[in-house]
Every structure is written in structure tokens, then in C-alpha cells.
Structure 1
Amino acid sequence: MRAIRRFTVRTLLPVALEDLDELAHNLRWSWHAPTRDLFATIDPTLWQTVQGDPAALLGALRPERLAALAADVDFVSLVRAASDDLHRYLNDPRWYQSAADPEDLPAAIAYFSPEFGITSVLPQYSGGLGILAGDHLKSASDLGVPIVGVGLLYGAGYFKQSLTRDGWQVETYPVLDPDGLPLKLVREEDGAPSIVSVELPGGRTLNARVWTAAVGRVPLLLLDSNVPENDDAARKVTDRLYGGGGEHRLQQELLLGVGGVRALRLWSRLTGALEPEVYHTNEGHAGFLGVERIRELVSSAGLTFEEAFEAVRAATVFTTHTPVPAGIDRFGRDLVARYFGGDNARVGVPVEKVLALGAEDYDGGDPTVFNMAVMGLRFGGRANGVSLLHGAVSRGMFRALWPGFDESEVPISSVTNGVHAPTWVDRRFIDLAAERFTHAEAASGAGWLRTDAITDEELWDMRHTLRSQLVRNARARLRASWRQRGASPAELGWVDDALSPEVLTIGFARRVPTYKRLTLMLRDPDRLRDLLTHPTRPIQLIIAGKSHPADEQGKRLIQQLVRFSDSSDVRGRIVFLPNYDIAMAQALYPGCDVWLNNPLRPLEASGTSGMKSSLNGGLNLSILDGWWDEWFDGENGWAIPTADGVEDSDRRDDLEAAALYDLIENQVAARFYDRDDRGLPVTWLGMIRHTLATLGPKVQATRMVADYVQQMYAPAALAGRALDGPGFTGARELAEWKAKVRSQWSHVHVDHIESGVGEVPQVGDALHVRAIVSLGLLTPQDVEVQVVHGRVSESDDLTSFGTQPLAVDESYENGRYSFGADVLLDSSGPFGYTVRIVPRHPALASIAELGLVANAH
């Protein structure tokens, strides 16, 4: 008989054990091994049964066991010591609190994301975006950065994946009970659940309760629409992560953005928490937060839409994660108009102005759609991609928003992703480093280069231990998968010998969109079969990944790979493990010798799975894309040659697959199996040491979050303060100035250029440039007249350039001025220059901010 409803009965802990509740509900345990050890000692068997979930463990304990624990003086002292340690972690000053100029840092930062991958116990993530968001919060906590996360609580999270007998992906959506998760409900002072509400068309209201997860020092607010106050349709808004059609997705993003801001206000009112100074939008999904903040300022401060927009924009950070237009949410313009116009219009927030924020009103754009990434960029006073290459790709993708400027000047920078080492590095590795290295050696990675601290024998033994651990884990998962596919125990004797702890192990695990090329390794099945079954240098492949439920092509790729791996001649050397999640990843990364990544370049924004492998002593074998393009140095792994420029996609895949096979056979496997007289692969171990020493410090998410603080959050906070002072004078003045500049820009142009240099220009000479310009009703203080100079191609294109401002030296009638300066010729070769005029104001984050430039012709 099936239950029609479920709920979780929470354990009433004895007074002596009350601290266990806080320890179970603060997710620091997910990256703090001593806390997990404490829970494991309560009942090791039950701990395994509940898959390492402290809240589930406490809920499963019988009263007599709790009473026995409460009477155990030694255990109670351990609980108190763990609680004291947690409180020191939560309250002691950390990196952020010891900053050199704390007054320049924001007092609080809001971080919005549609998904957060904190732990498998809280399945609110689908892939890299959520895992990155989770690592961001954990690292912010470790550094003491005052962030509050904002997201949605999905009733079924992302789907669980299984396979049919013929290898087809099947999705199931187990319903989650929030009371059984490490969450707490936000309540009013009278104990009633707090509610935030968002207006919907037709007089309907979308209500949501707010749950909080404690991610170390960081509160994570999660909005849940499955509440009695909603009608049936509204209750389903947060049913599934990335579920439903266009309008359902729009309602989710409306709740995340608008409802998320309202949840922050609720949180501040109830807890006294500081209001955020900076708002970070992790992808475009939460972009409507900017509209809500404008509504607040129009209502509370009496600002116009334009004035409020400037105040909001200055303190907003936008991070784009996709290098492909297909990865961007785009809604019909008419659909968005229904949610912000008509009977749902906000006072002082005209629907036309909201629609303009996401309008593709540029060459190549579609005037019928509303683009969430475009809105994110227009709201983002500071914007970034997630690797150097992705920053460049993003500047190319969105350059139409800043016409007239060179692609390199598009105001999208980059902060390369990182990973939270305590979450992803095997505990044995962490403990070994802590035992053998000084703090400085551990932080810099230099300790790994010391063979006297960790010998080659010890390092190789560690790698063997981790590989063996993975093989055992993979066999158990493989057997469970086959049983789910309908196999009987009698058919599965071969699983006991599947994989080997002695064989070179290559991992490949990620989402399965087409561009990540799950099946590139199958381009030549016979060649792959030879590599897997080589008599002296075999390889083994452990593969995992989920396809979006609506992506039939992705599911076919999984089926193709599963069918190959089912073949009796290779099934012991290549396995596909379904339901890739955090728990699987934490066994997979440490055990793999090599991490494979073969996307179509440059379509991988960053990719972080290879970072996690490298921190565990794995080597990367990857296309030069995302972060690997930035940090591959020839000694920390291998770069798969690409066939860039080959337009035939099949031909390109054939060429790159052949290059992959050659690398594995002639370099990767050859080096792994090249042993000295002690049986050690000395060259391979040298690559591991080099990777840990040089790459280890770079890929840390603490480095990433520190970069965000210094490059994005601190400048955004200062910019926001400059505009939101008493009466919002700065915002009013900036909006007025921008309106003036836009109204006059059609009158701004370069009239005439004069220049002079020696007859035979030499390095060290000066080029004198004088420009006569027209500014209309603008003044020289409103603009910067620049000489743009540098190396030129044969077609007179400036291939690399710098800029130098010209100083006003004379004024004429009718808004005409003369500007001039000397330009030092500091390098030899073909040289060219031009003159342009750009707006200038101290509150502009970039000269391209307004998208206005007057170039000389």
C-alpha cells in the first residue's frame, strides 16, 4: 500500500546531546571530517545505511541509544568539544576580517543562483553551475566573507538517473521532505512560518516559505512555493529543478529574483542581519532581482526608474557561465510583458523599460525575445566570465551590446573558477599533507616537491589505495545498476573482477550536452577496444553523466556508450555508472589517474572536474578549453590537439579522436607503465608532484572567492556607496548626466586631425597629435578624447593597441574644441593610430558602459 503523504518526525535529543542538532544542521560537517567522525562513532553501520547524513542518523536512533549516549561522559565531552570548535569557526576573525582596508569591503553580499550543490544530502543541483555555487559559499565561509546565498527549494531536486536493459536513461523524481533535510524554516516572532509573495498576472499571487541552510558561516535562503497559501499551479512552481516549459521557468526565475530580494528583506528584519551592499547574480536566472530593487527605490526613495537603475547597477555583479547562445534563457517578449505590465504593472516601473533591459535590440538580435543574459549584463556594473578564454569568448558573444568598441574593450572580465578542496580532496591526502608539511608548504604546494617529506613509494602507495577504493565503489555501483536493469545475480559474476586496482584508470564524468562529446572516445571502437585490452599497458574507463530529460540526443549518446560498455569483451575495462552526483564524485575524483575532458573548443566555459582530480594527484588529459587552456604547462598533464577551423564536424571529431587515441597509447599509458627497478613510475610521480605544487594553489575556490572580493565585490561596494548616499544624490546626478550625454551624442564627432613626427620615425620619438572635435552641448569634462595607437596589420587594422588621452588646449564657437598630446613611440614595427571620443564620468565602471563612441573617419 502506498502512502499519500509523508513527513519526517524529528528526534528529541537529551539535554546533554542538544549540540548534536546544531552540528547536524550546519553543513560544515560536509567538508569537516572530524564532525563526520563524531557522527559515525554513534553507530557505524547505521551511518553507512543513511549514507553519511547526520540529520537522518539522529532521526533513526532509538530512544534507548540516545539515553546511553547521553550517559556516556566521554561521548558528551566529544560533542561539546565539536560544538566549541564549530562556534570558534563561526565567530573567530578570518581572512576577510583581517583585510588591510576593511572599510573598502562590503558589509554583506547577496549571492543568487538557481541551484546550489552543497552535499548529496541536499540535492538542489544539476551540474557544474550548482557545484560551483556550493563551492563559492563554502569557500566564502572559510574566508569569513559575509555572503548570504539565495536560491529555490525544489520539491524533487534534480532527477535520479537509472538505465533500462538496453541502456536508455530513465528519470525518477523522488519527492523531498524539507523537514527531513538539514534545513530550518524561517518563522515570524509568533512562530508562524514567514511568507514572501510575488504578484502574478490575473490577480494571482505566488507565495513561498523560506528555508535556511547553514553553510558554515553562510546562511542560504531557499524559497519553497509548495505551501497551502498557493493555488495548485503556484504550488508546482518549485517542483523540479529546470523542469516545465517556458512560463513555468519564467515563474521560477521571477520567484528567485523578485522573491529572493524580498526574502533578504525578511531575513534582515527577523535576524538583524545587515542588508547586502553587493548583489551577485550567478548566471541570468536571477536577473529580475534588479527590477525588484528598482521598484524598492522608486517606492521608498522617490527615485525615477533611471535614477534607481544607476543605484542598482553600480552594486551588481553578473557572472555568465555559458559560451553558447543555446545555454541562455530567452522568453517571449509578450510573455514577460504579461508579468510586468497590465494588471501586474509595478508603480514607477513601466513595462516598456523592463522589456528594454532584456531586449536584443542590436544587429543579429531577435526583437521578439527577452534575453536574461542581456538583462544581466545591462544590470551588471561589473561582469565576468569564468576563465580567461571564456572571458574572451563572452566578449565576442556579446560585443553587439557595445557597438563601435573593439572586442577586447567589451566590459566583461574573467574570474577563473576554483574548487573547494576540503570537499573534494580525499581525506587521506589531506591528512598526509598536514602531517608532513609546514603550513607554508601546504598552502603553496611546495611540500609535494620534497621527496624527503613524502617518498615516491608513499605517494605511489597512496595513489594505489585511492584507485583500489574507487574500484570497490564502482563495482558496487555497477552491480546495483545491473540489478536495476533487470539482471539476475547469476548473470553478474563478472562484476567481481570488473576493473582492476593495477590498471591505468581514466575518468570522464559530466553533464551530457552534445558539445561535451561523451562518445568522442567511440569514434573508432576497434582502436578503443585495443587500448582497453592491451596485453601489457591496458587502460580502464569509468564514465558517468546525466542528460537533460528533454535532450533525446544526449540520451542516445549515453545509450551508445552503455551498449559498447556492455560488450562482453570490454565490460571489465569500461563502465558507465548511473546517477552521477556529489557522493559518486567524491569517490571518483581521488581514484582516477587521469581525468579526460574533450569538449568542442571553445564551448567549455571553465569545467572544474579536472581541478578536483588534480588536487587528488590526478593528471588531466584535455582539450585546451576553459581553465585548462589557461593553466596547462606541458608538465601537469596532456593537451589533446584540436582541429580548429575544420568545418565538417564529423571530420573534426575523427581527427581529434585519433589524436586522443595516440596520446593515450604513446604518452599517457607509456608513462604510467614505465617503471624503475623498484616498480615505480618515477616520471609519472614527478608529474603528480609538479601538478600538486603548481596547479594545486591555483584551482582553489578560496583563491576564486578572494579574486571576486578584490576585483568585483569591493569595487562594486564603493561604486554603490558613491550613488546611494543621502538623498541618492550620486544616482540622480549620474542618471541626469547620462541622459544629457545620450541626447547630445549625435552631435559629437571628430572634425579634423593633425599630426607630426620626424621624417624617419624612431623608437623614442614623439608623435604629436591634435584633434578638432565637436561636442554639441557637452563640455570637455564630459568626454575623453583619446588617441588609440599600436601595431597595425597590412589592412591597417590595429592588432594591439593602447590609448592616451588628449588634453583640451583651445575652444571655439558652437561647441568645438581642440585637443592635443604627444605620443611616445616606444616600439619598432608598423605603427598606426586613430582618434576617438568616449563619455567620461568618475562613476563609470568602463568607458564602454554607455555603448557610445565617436570614431574618427
Structure 2
Amino acid sequence: MKAIRRFTVRPVLPDPLGDLAELARNLRWSWHPRTRALFRSVDPHLWEASGCDPVRLLGGVPPARLAELSRDEDFLRRLGEAAGDLREYVTGERWYQQRAGGSGHLPRAVAYFSPEFGITAALPQYSGGLGILAGDHLKAASDLGVPLIGVGLLYRHGYFRQSLSRDAWQQEHYPVLDPNELPLTLLREADGTPALVALALPGGRSLRAHVWQAQVGRVPLLLLDSDVEENDRGERDVTDRLYGGGSEHRLLQEMLLGIGGVRAVRTYCRLTGHPEPEVFHTNEGHAGFLGLERIHELTGPAVGFDTALEAVRAGTVFTTHTPVPAGIDRFDRELVARHFGPDAELPRVDVGDILRLGMETYPGGEPNLFNMAVMGLRLGSRANGVSILHGAVSREMFAGLWPGFDPEEIPITSVTNGVHAPTWVAPEVLALGARQIGERRTEDALSVGGSDRWDAVADIPDTDIWELRRTLRGQLVDEVRRRLYDSWRQRGAATAELGWIDDVLDPDVLTIGFARRVPSYKRLTLMLRDRDRLMELLLHPERPLQIVVAGKAHPADDGGKRLIQELVRFTDDPRVRHRVVFLPDYGMAMAQKLYPGCDVWLNNPLRPLEACGTSGMKAALNGALNLSVLDGWWDEWFEPDFGWAIPTADGAATDDDRRDDLEAAALYDLLERRVAPRFYERGPGGLPDRWIEMVRRTLTRLGPKVLAGRMVREYVEELYAPAARAHRALDVTAAGELAAWKARVRAAWPRVTVDHVEASATGATAELGATLALRVRVHLGELTPDDVEVQAIAGRVDPEDRITGATPVPLKPVGGPDQEGRRVYEGPLALDRTGSFGYTVRILPAHRLLADGAELGLVTVPSEATGEAAGVLLR
């Protein structure tokens, strides 16, 4: 019979074991080896059966075992040490507190919004890299002491679980998640009732949500849950699945995340006394509506929309993660309009003002679509991509918002992603580091960084490194066989036909890993372009390869599912199935076994469509070598000393099939001629000396760079701190001043002109070291010199006379306006480089409160033909 109601009965722990509940509820256990070891010792079998989840573990431990542990002095001692260590961790002074030093230049708190968070497999609220990055961001912020508040949604079905049919077609399953069985606590009002966040919907309806809290070390993570009794059926399902439903469903999810998320933060701070955030960080455009809610908070009789917009922009950071327009959420303008205004949400904000923030009103845009990334850029004073190359791609992709500026001047910077090493580094690697430099220094090296600590890898004996790699490879072999057996049973195979699985993979064979989401640009099946050649590599009599592949296609992506089916059918071939496998249901639990066990991590996307790609970073921290297209993070950090770059066939004349053929052939050549020989080559001592040296260099050179701690420090210093300073400077009065100034400048800008430019050299010829004296005559209309900056832009020129490596040189006004209102600006221009050289001049708006000279999207340049002014309105 089926139960008519389900609920969770929590265990009652004996008093001596009370600290176990505190340890289980703080997700630091997911990356803290000693706490995990403590929970494992409670019941090793039940620990594995619970999926290494302390909450489930404690819910299943028999009372007799708990009573036994409450009398075990050694266990109680370790429990006390773990609890004391956690309390010191969450209250002690860390990097951020030392960096702040009482100066007040760092934000009191930062709110970090993301549609998904990958903290641990025990809290399945992620689909792929975006969520894993968000989880690593929170963990690293906790390690560094950054006062962050995470904000997301609680999906009652999470993301789907994946299996395969007999004919290798992806199957999706959506398990029901009970928040009471997860490491979560319901946020409650002072009277004990659940805190509620509410949004107004068209037609007088409401969308309400509870707020669940996960504690990620020092960082609270607030997750909004619409499955509450106060909602009608349709509203209860808003947070049913991650990235599920149609356009209106997604819009409601993103309104709840952004608008409801801000309200949840306000409620949390009110109830707990946590400092209110000064900086709001939008991790991709899904949470962009948070800016509208903050504008609505400020808008009233004395504060108009433009003033509120300036105040909100100052403290907002926007991170874009997609290098392709198709990856951005876009909604029909009428759908958006229907959900805002007097009859729905944000009644004090005019719907037209809301729409203008997200509409694609630029060349090449779709005028009837509301673009969440465009809104993110217009609402954020600071924006970034997630690798140097992705920053450049983003500047090109969004250049339509700033058509008068060269791509390198578009105000989108970059902070290259990192990974949380304590989460992704295998315990065996940690143990080796602890033996070398001590447990505490190893933990600091992985969480905080510091090349001096990583340099100690140079002193680890070759035999220890190689034995570690073989151990990890052997553990992966065992894991693969177990998962492959379970997969075949799900596909309908009988036990009697699965004996071959006992011989799948070999702990002494070069092992390659490839695991990620399965959109077409990641090219899951590139390795299959020449199947005969791949078989030769897999079955080579002296230098064989073995490959482990995993990945999920989006439920609506039949093209991705066909790629998986094609690959699985190849792996089913009895000739190679012991050398190449596909493992379904890729997630954090699998990844934590897969990354350490691989010798080589393969990545072959279409360049430059991989924004960053952090899986190779996680593999590298475990001593794997990267074999990748120069895309994402590998483009900026690749060195031949510790990996290989797959050549690309970028050219306009190369069609997609031809490109794939060329790049697959390059991949086969690298594997056959360089990778495999290096792995199997033995030195005088019987070890692959040159391979081990590449592993050593991977750890010492890449290790400190790929850390999430490095990433979060860069966010703090380059984005959060400037945003906090701008937030403090732009109170309502200053924001009103800035808004009025912008309005005045925009109105006057069409009459700003560059009328004449002349230059005279100090020498007879233009030689290196000479100086040009520039003299520019401009007309500022109703503006004054205080409203603008006149610049000379100089540098080398290409054959089309485009300036490259441009250097702006401010020019100074000389005297007042003449009778026609024109002004003269002058300045020297040094000829500091040889070769083709050129210059131009331009006028930009200038104000002390602007985050960037391009912020308004206004620039005036000379006419190419006559020297007469050409005013360019960028937005």
C-alpha cells in the first residue's frame, strides 16, 4: 500500500553526541576530511549506503549504536575536537578580516545570487558547471572569511537523474526531495512561524515561498521554496525542477529568485542581525530581477526611477557565463510587461522603464525580446566574464551596447574561474601533502593558496607520486566497474551476461577522462570521427589507452541525446568495451572519483565557446595532465611543460565537418605520438620520469592558479571593494545628482562636436622619441569642460588604419570658449614606438561617480572625411 502522507522522524541523539547534529547541519563536513572521517566511524556501512550524507546517516543509526558511541571516550574526544574546530572556523579571523583591517573599504556583506548551487551530492540543487562554480564560490568565501550570503531556489525535484535504455537512449528520472531530509533549516519568524516571501501575480494571485537555510561553513545559503500550502497548485510548482517548464514558468522562477531573493535576504538580516549587503552579485542573468526589486525599494515620491537606478547600479556586480547568445534567457516583452506594474509586481516602477532595461535596442537585436543578460549589464556597474578569453568574447558579443567603442574598451572585465580544492582533491592526495608539509599547511595551500606551499611538491619522491597515481587509477577502475554493472542492470541486462565487466579497464593502462554537459559545441563524439584509428589507439599492443566518459544532455535536447546514444553504442562493442565506457548520471559523487583517477583530462570544445571549463582544473589538482583545445582557462595558462594543446582549424573557409575532421586527426596524432609514449616510457629506475615531472609541474605551476580562493580574492579586490565604495558614495542625494547629470549630458550630446585637429612635430621627422603637439578645437554645446574628457588615442595601425594597442592621452582645455562657443584642447603625444603609427581624438562624458568612461555609451569622434564632428549615441 502507498502512504497517504510522508514526513521525517528525526533521531534523538544522546546528550554526549549533541555536537553531531551541529556538524551534520554545517556543510563544511563535505570538504573537511576529519569531520567526514568522524561520521564514517559512526557506521561505515551505513555511511556508504547514505551516500556519505550525515543527515541520512544519523537518521538510520540504531539507538543501540548511538548509546555505544555516547560511552566511547575516543569517539567523544574526536567529536569534541571536530566541534571545536568548526566553531573556531566560523568565528575566527581569516583572510578577509585581516585584509579589512578596520579600514572599512571592504563591503560589510555581499549577496551572491545564482539559479543553482553545487555544494554536495547530499543537496542536489545543480545541473552543471554554473552550479558547481557557485558552490565553490561559497566554500572559498567561507574559507577566506568573506561575509557572503548565498541566494537560490530549492527545487523539489532537483535536476534529473540519468539512466540509459537498452538501445542507449537517455532516460530522465526526477526524484522527490523532502527538505526535512536534507541538511537544511527552515527560516522562522520570532514567534516560530515559517518566514514567508510573497510576490504579486497578475489577476490578484500571489506566489509565496518559504526560505530554507543551508550553512556552508561561515556562509548562509538561502533557498526559496514555492511548494507551500498557501499557494495554489500552479504556484506550488514554480520551484519544481531546475531549468524546467516553458517561458512563463522560467520567468516566474527568475522573478522569485531575483525579487523574492532580495526579500529573503532582508528577512534573514532582520531575524538574525546579519549586516545588510552593500554589494549584490548576479551569477548569470537568471537573477537579474534583483536589481528591479532594489530599485522598487528606493522609489517613492521623493526618489524617481533614474535616481534609484543609479543608486542600485553602484553596488551591483554582474557575471556572464555564456559565450553564445543562445545560452541567454530571453522573454517576450508582452509576457514580461504582464507581470509588472500596478496590477502585479513592483507597482511603483513604470513598466516602460523595466522593459527598457532588458530590450535588445541595438543593431542586430530582437526589439520584442527581453534579454536577461542585457538587463544584467545595464543594472550592474561592474561586469565580468569567467576567463580572459571569455572576457574578450563577451566584449565582442555585447558590443552592440557600445557601438562607438573598440571591443577592448567595452566595460566587461574578466575573473578566471577557480575550483575549491578541498572539495575536489582526493583524500590520498591530501594525505601525501600532509606527510610532506603538514596537515594544516596543506589545508591552507588548498584553500588560501601561496606558491611557497605548492613548491614543496618538488621535494616529493617520484616513487610516491607514481604510487599515488596508480592507487587513484585503481580506485577509479573499481568505481567504473560498479557503476557500469548498475547501469547495465538498469538497461535490462541479466547478471549472467555481465561477467565481462570484471575485466573492464586496467589499473596500469593510460586512462583518459571526458565528462561534462552534452551540448553540441562540447563535441562529445569528436573522438569517434575515425573509429578505426580510435580502436587502434585503444587496443595498441604496447601503449593502449582507456577512456571514461560521462555527461548529461538537457531533457529537451534530442540532439545531445543522439550524441550520447552514438557514443554508448560504440562503447557497447565487445571489441572495445573493456577499454572505453560511458557512465550515466554524472554528478558530484561520480566526479570526485573520476577526476583523481584519470591520467589525462580531455576537452575538445569548439573554440571559443567554452567560457572557462573548470573540470580540467579539478583533474589537475589531483595530478592529471590536460589535453585540451586552447579555450577557456587553458587558453591563458597552458604550457607545454604540463600538458598538450589540441590544434584548432579556425578559418572562415573551413566548414563544420571539415573542422571536426582536422581537429580529430590532430587529437589522434597527439595521443599516438606524444601522450601515450610519454606515459609508457620508463627511465633507469623503471618509472616514467618525464611523465612524473609533468605531474609535478602541473601541481606547482597550475595548483595556486586554479584555486577558488584565488578567484574569490580577485572578486573581492577588483569588483566587490570598488562596488562597495561606489555604493557608499552614491547615497540618494548623490545618485540624484548623477542621474540628473546623465540626463543633461544625454540631451546635450548630439551638439558635441570635434571641429578640427592639427598636430606639429618637435623634430623634422616622426622619429622614435619625438613628440607631437596636438591642438583640437571642439564644441561642447551646453556642456562645460567639467562634463567631458577630450582624449587623444594613439597606437600602431593595421592595414585598414585601425589603431591597435591604443593608449588614451587626456588633453587639457586652453582658455575659454571663442565667440562661436568653441574650445581648444592641447597636449603632447609621445612617439614611443616604431612602425606604422596613428592617432585620433574623441570626447567622452566624465564625472567623478562614473564607474567607467564608456558607462553612458556616448562618444564623439571626428568625421573621417572632413574632420567635422560625428556624434555617436551608443545606447
TM-score normalised by L of structure 1: 0.98
Q: Is the 8 A contact 1:447 1:453 kept in 2?
A: no
1:13 corresponds in structure 2 to: 13
Q: Which residue identity is paired with 1:649? A: D
Q: Is the 8 A contact 1:6 1:177 kept in 2?
A: no
| Superposed counterparts of 1:517-536, under 5 Å | 517-536=523-542
User: 2:796 is paired with a residue of what secondary structure?
Assistant: strand
Q: Is the 8 A contact 1:531 1:665 kept in 2?
A: yes
Q: 1:790 and 2:790 equivalent?
A: no
Q: Which residue identity is paired with 2:315? A: A
Q: 1:503 and 2:504 equivalent?
A: no
1:851 corresponds in structure 2 to: 857
2:312 corresponds in structure 1 to: 312
| Superposed counterparts of 1:612-623, under 5 Å | 612-623=618-629
Q: 1:222 and 2:226 equivalent?
A: no
Rate the CA distance shift 1:391–1:296 in 2: closer, same or farther, 3 A: same
2:839 corresponds in structure 1 to: 833
Q: 1:34 and 2:34 equivalent?
A: yes
1:423 corresponds in structure 2 to: 423
Q: 1:187 and 2:191 equivalent?
A: no
| Superposed counterparts of 1:616-635, under 5 Å | 616-635=622-641
For residues 636-685 of structure 1, what are the alpha-carbon distances to aligned partners after superposition, in whole Å with 9 as ceiling and x for unaligned?
A: 10000000014310000000000000000100001000012332110101
Give the CA deviation at 1:362. Answer: 0.4
For residues 206-236 of structure 1, what are the alpha-carbon distances to aligned partners after superposition, in whole Å with 9 as ceiling and x for unaligned?
A: 0000000000000000000000000000000
User: 2:343 is paired with a residue of what secondary structure?
Assistant: helix
Bigger shift: 183-192 or 6-15? Answer: 6-15
User: 2:70 is paired with a residue of what secondary structure?
Assistant: helix
Q: Is the 8 A contact 2:454 2:703 kept in 1?
A: no
2:559 corresponds in structure 1 to: 553
Structure 1 gaps, min length 5: none
Give the CA deviation at 1:100. Answer: 5.6
Rate the CA distance shift 1:100–1:195 in 2: closer, same or farther, 3 A: closer
Bigger shift: 205-214 or 438-447? Answer: 438-447
User: 2:223 is paired with a residue of what secondary structure?
Assistant: strand
Q: Which residue identity is paired with 1:416? A: T
User: 1:778 is paired with a residue of what secondary structure?
Assistant: coil
| Superposed counterparts of 1:84-99, under 5 Å | 84-99=84-99
Q: Is the 8 A contact 1:196 1:207 kept in 2?
A: yes
1:285 corresponds in structure 2 to: 286
Q: Which residue identity is paired with 2:727? A: G
| Superposed counterparts of 1:393-404, under 5 Å | 393-404=393-404
Q: Is the 8 A contact 1:226 1:235 kept in 2?
A: yes
1:742 corresponds in structure 2 to: 746
| Superposed counterparts of 1:246-261, under 5 Å | 246-261=247-262
Q: 1:717 and 2:718 equivalent?
A: no
Bigger shift: 60-69 or 434-443? Answer: 434-443
CA distance in 2, matches of 1:418, 1:580: 20
- Percent identical across equivalent pairs? 63
CA distance in 1, matches of 2:656, 2:458: 50
Rate the CA distance shift 1:314–1:696 in 2: closer, same or farther, 3 A: same
Q: Is the 8 A contact 1:748 1:776 kept in 2?
A: yes
CA distance in 2, matches of 1:179, 1:345: 31
Q: 1:124 and 2:125 equivalent?
A: yes
CA distance in 2, matches of 1:489, 1:372: 50
CA RMSD for the aligned pairs? Answer: 1.3
For residues 81-104 of structure 1, what are the alpha-carbon distances to aligned partners after superposition, in whole Å with 9 as ceiling and x for unaligned?
A: 211110000000000000165411
Give the CA deviation at 1:448. Answer: 6.5
Bigger shift: 65-74 or 54-63? Answer: 65-74
CA distance in 1, matches of 2:784, 2:620: 56
Q: Is the 8 A contact 2:293 2:346 kept in 1?
A: no
Bigger shift: 2-11 or 733-742? Answer: 2-11
User: 1:790 is paired with a residue of what secondary structure?
Assistant: strand
Give the CA deviation at 1:238. Answer: 0.1
Give the CA deviation at 1:535. Answer: 0.6
1:800 corresponds in structure 2 to: 805
Q: Is the 8 A contact 2:212 2:224 kept in 1?
A: yes
Q: 1:774 and 2:779 equivalent?
A: yes
The correspondence for 1:688, drawn from 678, 695, 699, is: 695
Aligned length: 853
CA distance in 1, matches of 2:843, 2:271: 50
Q: Is the 8 A contact 1:446 1:693 kept in 2?
A: no
CA distance in 2, matches of 1:46, 1:203: 49
Structure 2 gaps, min length 5: 864-875
CA distance in 2, matches of 1:278, 1:654: 47
Q: Is the 8 A contact 2:342 2:348 kept in 1?
A: no
Give the CA deviation at 1:452. Answer: 7.7
Q: Is the 8 A contact 2:780 2:822 kept in 1?
A: yes
User: 1:137 is paired with a residue of what secondary structure?
Assistant: helix
Q: 1:756 and 2:760 equivalent?
A: yes
2:356 corresponds in structure 1 to: 356
User: 1:343 is paired with a residue of what secondary structure?
Assistant: coil
CA distance in 1, matches of 2:287, 2:198: 16
For residues 223-280 of structure 1, what are the alpha-carbon distances to aligned partners after superposition, in whole Å with 9 as ceiling and x for unaligned?
A: 0000000000000000000000100000000000000000001001100111100000
Rate the CA distance shift 1:452–1:370 in 2: closer, same or farther, 3 A: closer
Q: Which residue identity is paired with 2:90? A: L
TM-score normalised by L of structure 2: 0.96
User: 1:500 is paired with a residue of what secondary structure?
Assistant: coil
2:147 corresponds in structure 1 to: 146
Q: Which residue identity is paired with 2:529? A: R
Q: Which residue identity is paired with 2:229? A: P
Q: Which residue identity is paired with 2:589? A: A
Q: Which residue identity is paired with 2:774? A: V
Q: Is the 8 A contact 2:754 2:777 kept in 1?
A: yes
CA distance in 1, matches of 2:47, 2:360: 53
2:869 corresponds in structure 1 to: none
Rate the CA distance shift 1:373–1:464 in 2: closer, same or farther, 3 A: same
Q: Which residue identity is paired with 1:680? A: L
Give the CA deviation at 1:77. Answer: 2.6
1:82 corresponds in structure 2 to: 82
1:66 corresponds in structure 2 to: 66
CA distance in 2, matches of 1:723, 1:829: 45
CA distance in 2, matches of 1:751, 1:5: 79
Give the CA deviation at 1:450. Answer: 6.1
1:346 corresponds in structure 2 to: 346
CA distance in 1, matches of 2:665, 2:459: 40
Q: 1:677 and 2:684 equivalent?
A: yes
Bigger shift: 750-759 or 835-844? Answer: 750-759
1:382 corresponds in structure 2 to: 382
Q: Is the 8 A contact 1:124 1:153 kept in 2?
A: yes
Q: Is the 8 A contact 1:445 1:692 kept in 2?
A: no
For residues 517-544 of structure 1, what are the alpha-carbon distances to aligned partners after superposition, in whole Å with 9 as ceiling and x for unaligned?
A: 0000000111111111111100000000
User: 2:307 is paired with a residue of what secondary structure?
Assistant: helix
Q: Which residue identity is paired with 2:701? A: T
CA distance in 2, matches of 1:246, 1:214: 32
| Superposed counterparts of 1:506-655, under 5 Å | 506-645=512-651, 646-655=653-662
Rate the CA distance shift 1:756–1:651 in 2: closer, same or farther, 3 A: same
Q: Is the 8 A contact 2:420 2:707 kept in 1?
A: yes
User: 1:751 is paired with a residue of what secondary structure?
Assistant: strand
